[in-house]
Amino acid sequence: MRAHLAALHDGLMDPAPALFAIRIKGQLGATVLSAFPVMVGRQDGTDTVLTGLLDRSALFGVLAEVEALGLELLEVRQLTRHRKSPGSGESISP
């Protein structure tokens, strides 16, 4: 799978922890879910959604584990962003 990751200076990838939802094709059992101890797994139709608070390094670690296990990654969605400093003019999550 080829993907373009946003560069830090693009303003799209904040190194601070954020809540992420990662959708994986198929219903994962307890054994596979145990490979993601910082994530909470739930079934959503025929897919599994892993949700958890991750910084950039942890996100890449989870994605590497998904690849290592041969799972089909369907979606990675950032649900919340870390609050920027009060003077930045931007605030929190969508």
Instruction: Classify residue 61: in a domain, yes or no.
Output: yes
Question: Does residue 28 fall inside a structural domain?
Answer: yes
Residue type, 33: L
Instruction: Kindly state whether residue 45 falls inside one of the protein's structural domains.
Output: yes
Distance CA 56, CA 83 (A): 15
70 inside domain? yes
Range of 37's domain? Answer: 15-80
Q: Tell me: the pLDDT tens digits for 10-29?
A: 555 557 899 999 999 999 99
Tell whether 86 is covered by a domain: no
In a domain? residue 85: no
Residue keyed to tokens 């369907």: 74
Question: Does residue 5 lie within any of the structural domains?
Answer: no
Output the tens digit of pLDDT for each of the chain's 94 residues: 455 555 554 555 557 899 999 999 999 999 999 999 999 999 999 999 999 999 999 999 999 999 999 999 999 999 987 665 444 444 444 4
CATH number of the domain that 55 lies in?
3.30.70.2750
pTM: 0.71
- Work out how many domains the chain is built from and give that number: 1
